[in-house]
Amino acid sequence: MKAYALARGVLASLRSFDRQLGQRSGRRRILVDARTPVNFTMIARVYRALQRDPRVQFYFTASEEPSRLRAIYCEARDVRLIHPARAAWMRFDAYVASDDMWAILPRGTCRIQTFHGVGGKYGFDAPTRSMRMWDRLFFPNERRLRNFVKAGAIDPGAPNARLIGLPKADALVDGTWTREAVLAELRMDPSRPTVLYAPTWSPASSLNAMGIDLVRALLDRDLNVIVKLHDRSRDLRPRYSGGVDWVARLRPVLAGRTGVIAPAHDISPYLVAADLMITDHSSAGFEFLLRDRPLVRIDRPELYRLANVHPDYVALLGSASDSVETVSEAVRAVERGLVNPEERRAARQAVASDLFYRPGGATSRAVRQLYEAIELEPAAAALTAAATRLAGPHRIAQEVACRP
């Protein structure tokens, strides 16, 4: 044990010396790790703000599936992509992941977990192992922070806990997107009600169980229909999509009708454009509550089991939505919601307030905390960019082949 402790002490000293030597130039390097394109959307606003600071350089990797590096960052413009094998030789001042990932970086770094949603799936709200190895945990809300303490994953008053909010969700409240602009880009008639169908990924999702029939039924009404596929639903591997090419399946259904497959991986513009949303259990369903518009939840118990959804979150989404089980029930719920959008308003607002810490300011808080983590005095230009909605005009990314 003494030899092990001595070795750890020597390694820590070497890393400290390496960091001090590397920071003498005044420049800092940040490595972002991702599994899917949506992981980039979680850090995109923070990245764009820090682009205003020439002292900060970002690199982007895919430690678990390096062969998919370009596909994962297919919508990210002008980014430095780096293979994880090369990244392992470099020194980074911070490592940022929005998923449960851990790239091998022998020279050490400040490891930051930003999370990638608020849906309570895959044990993220009741971790069974310690999260003390992360130097920073950027919590989206107090509920998750309390759950981490309750589960014993961190200590009360943990020094690595930061209450940030969800930077991605800032776009839902700060005017980055407008309904009219998004529908114009999609070539949809703004006079029609717009319904967004955004199921999560899983062989047990509503997409696999009834998605095609549901889309057909919606298209038979005088509606705009936007189908937003989860990144993983575009992945042809069976564990993610059920082995179905959903783009190929949906295109003939939508052809010549008033519906589209959402072209971009960031769901935010479509959440803004929608007058009503249908989901099963996704973080995006909770994000839509920030728009305070009707939500229809397709109840899928098998999905909750497979995705290890915390029961509290099943109940929360149910309280703020009209829950259904079949296509016909979903269509009737859509009709009810469009006629009476005020119903469940109090519940929607209560759940949104619970799950999103001070929306509209999360990007600013994340940027300031990232500067602290990399031990650099914040640049005024970056702070201003973080506090301002993304400068327009904005164009939705066109569909690209972000597949394995």
Kindly state whether residues 97 and 161 are assigned to the same domain: yes
- Residue 404: per-residue pLDDT: 44
Query: Given a cut of 90, is residue 4 above it in pLDDT?
Result: no
Mean pLDDT of the chain: 92
Helix, coil or strand: residue 167: helix
| Residue 12 reports pLDDT greater than 70 | no
In angstroms, the CA 177 to CA 43 distance is: 18
C-alpha to C-alpha distance for 172 and 196, rounded to whole angstroms:
15
* 400 domain residue, yes or no: no
Tokens 């392992």, residue located = 88
193: its two tokens:
């009600």
Same domain, 183 and 332: yes
> Residue 103's domain spans which residues?
2-170+360-387
Q: Is 394 inside any structural domain?
A: no
Read off the CATH number of the domain in which 323 is found. 3.40.50.2000
For residues 182 and 286, membership in a common domain is answered with yes
**What is the rounded distance in angstroms from the CA atom of residue 310 to the CA atom of residue 123?**
7
Shared-domain flag, residues 301 and 368: no
Order the strands of the 224-227 sheet from edge to edge.
259-261, 224-227, 194-197, 276-279, 295-298, 322-324
Cβ-based neighbour number of residue 318 at 10 Å: 15
Q: Max Cα separation, the chain? A: 73
Beta-strand relationship, 136-139 and 56-61: unpaired
Q: Are residues 291 and 376 located together in one domain of the fold? A: no
The answer to whether residue 262 is domain-embedded is: yes
68, β-bridge pairs: none
- pLDDT on residue 75: 86
Asked whether residue 5 carries a pLDDT value surpassing 70, the answer given is: no
Range 245-252 contact pairs with CB under 8 angstroms and sequence separation of 24 or more: 246/207, 246/211, 249/212, 250/211, 250/212, 250/215
pLDDT digits (tens, 9 = 90+) for 65-119: 999 999 999 988 789 999 999 999 999 999 999 999 999 999 999 999 999 999 9
In a domain, 368, yes or no: yes
pLDDT at residue 224 tops 80 = yes
26 vs 150 pLDDT, higher one = 150
Q: Model's pTM, two decimal places?
A: 0.94
Q: Mark whether 214 and 271 lie in a shared domain.
A: yes
Tens digit of each residue's pLDDT (9 = 90 or more) over 256-283:
999 999 999 999 999 999 999 999 999 9
pLDDT of the residue at 1:
64
CATH of the domain at 366: 3.40.50.11820
Q: Which of 8-22, 144-158, 281-295, 312-326 has the lowest mean pLDDT?
A: 8-22
List of E strands, 34-139: 56-61, 94-97, 110-113, 136-139
* In a shared domain, residues 124 and 235: no
The pLDDT assigned to 174 comes to 95
Q: How many domains is the chain built from?
A: 2
pLDDT at 6: 59
Secondary structure (3-state) at 322? strand
For residue 57, give the nearest of 86, 90, 34, 84 by alpha carbon.
Answer: 90
Structural domain includes residue 284: yes
